[in-house]
Structures are given as structure tokens and as C-alpha cells.
Amino acid sequence: NLPPANSLSLAVDAQGQARLAWYNTQDDALMYALRAGDAWRVETVDDSADVGEYASLGLDRAGRPHIAYHDRNARTLKYAHHDGQAWRIEVVDAEGQAGFHASLVVGADDTVYIAYHAQPRGILKSAIGRLGDWTVETRLAAEAPKGTYASIALSPTTGHPAISYRDDALAGLGYTHRTEQTWHRGTIDFEGNDMGTFTALAFDPDGVQHIAYRDNTDRVLKHAAKTEFSWLREVVDPDGD
């Protein structure tokens, strides 16, 4: 049996084997598991002091795991990478209270992209780089709280990152994406209802953005898809909760 799990994240490697990362709520540790045949190989990645919440797992070209996660004790964003020999762990962002709602993706050149929320100012931040070499930037300034429930993905046509998030100031669904020169942002859905929690962003093979998210007022699951000039929004499950 696997240890108690929260903040569960799943990735599938090129051989079709499942990998898991999660926060062990019993031991307050970051865990990792690899499906090997009919059994799971489970290991503790980091048990330094209440770490592993908001775990987000990605795999590089060699199938090696990369995990972004929150250190609840130090209130930092941490990163773990297995280089084939051992786990390498470091703090990516120790400014303020960083690493909430972390979301990680690995690019085609093995560059790591992380989106996350920082408190108490309530800002969306990103960290881009590799072990020991990170560029940390504020994606949305703190004129009003933004950036919870972040989800990051890379465009298959351009390779540029995009992030969906909750715009806490408007109680709506926000989105920001990078072009060659800069980042662009906007609010996709905020028409009266409290929405934009639990966002999940993905691109289809044609580079079209899709976002799943929750409408908390109507208690329904919604989906937004980008067209050439606007976003199309629809209710996926109208039954509530």
C-alpha cells in the first residue's frame, strides 16, 4: 500500500509506466513512486520538515523526475530532481511565503518551468531554469490578490509557457501567456459568479488552449477553449459539486 497521500501528481513515461509524487500527510514528507511491473517502488524524496504540499511532477527527455513543492515550515518553493544517481534538492524561491499551488512542466530541451502563488502579497510568480540556475519573476503584480490554483503548460507550436490561475480580486478565471518578447494576460470568466478555482491548463496538438475550472457559485465544472478572437466557455457537468 502507498503511504497517505495529498497533493497527488501523476506523470506517464515513454514506456507507459506511471509515476507519482505526493505529500505524505502522516510523515509530512515528499514522496515519489514508480510503477515497476506489478508493484510500486516507493521512496521518500524529502522529509526535512513538513514538506511536499502542492507537489507537481514532470519528466524530462530521459524520463527522470522533476518535482516542485512547498515547504510548509520554511514557507519556500522547493525543487527536487533525480539525476540518475540520487535526488538533488534545492530552494528555488525563499522570498516571502512562496510555493503555494505549484505547477511544473518540463520543456523539450529539459528546461523546467514552475508557476506558483506567493503570500502574503498574493502574487503569481514563475521560476524558469534548471538545478542551480533559476530565473524567478513576478508574473502578476500585487495591485490585487491573484495567482492561486495556478496551472502551467507549454505550447506545442511555439514552446512558450502559459498559465491559468484564479484572479482572486475578480473571483474569476485568469490566463497569462508568453510570446517572444513579453507576457500577456487577461481574465477569461468572471461574469458575476465566484469561479476559477482548481484550474487545469492543456494544449491540444494544434496549439489550442483548453482550461478546466470550477464555478463555485453554481457548483459546476466548466471548460474554456481559445478561438482565434475569443474564449468559448461551457458547462461540462451541470449536476453540481
pLDDT digits (tens, 9 = 90+) for 27-48: 999 999 998 888 899 999 999 9
Grade residue 85 by pLDDT with cuts at 50, 70 and 90: very high
pTM of the model as a whole? 0.94
Q: What is the mean pLDDT of the chain?
A: 91
Distance CA 28, CA 51 (A): 6
- Cβ-count burial 219-241 (b if 16+ within 10 Å, e if not): ebbbebebeeeebebeeeeeeee
* Res 121: pLDDT: 76
In 3D, which of 174, 21, 27, 40 has the Cα closest to residue 104? Answer: 21
Task: Please name the residue that has the C-alpha cell 510503477.
Answer: 35
Residue 92: other Cβ atoms inside 10 A:
21
Say if residue 109's pLDDT is above 70.
Answer: yes
Say if residue 145's pLDDT is above 90.
Answer: no
Cα torsion through 160, 106, 202, 156, rounded to 10: 50
Grade residue 138 by pLDDT with cuts at 50, 70 and 90: confident
Say if residue 144's pLDDT is above 70.
Answer: no
* Res 229: pLDDT: 85
Say if residue 73's pLDDT is above 70.
Answer: yes
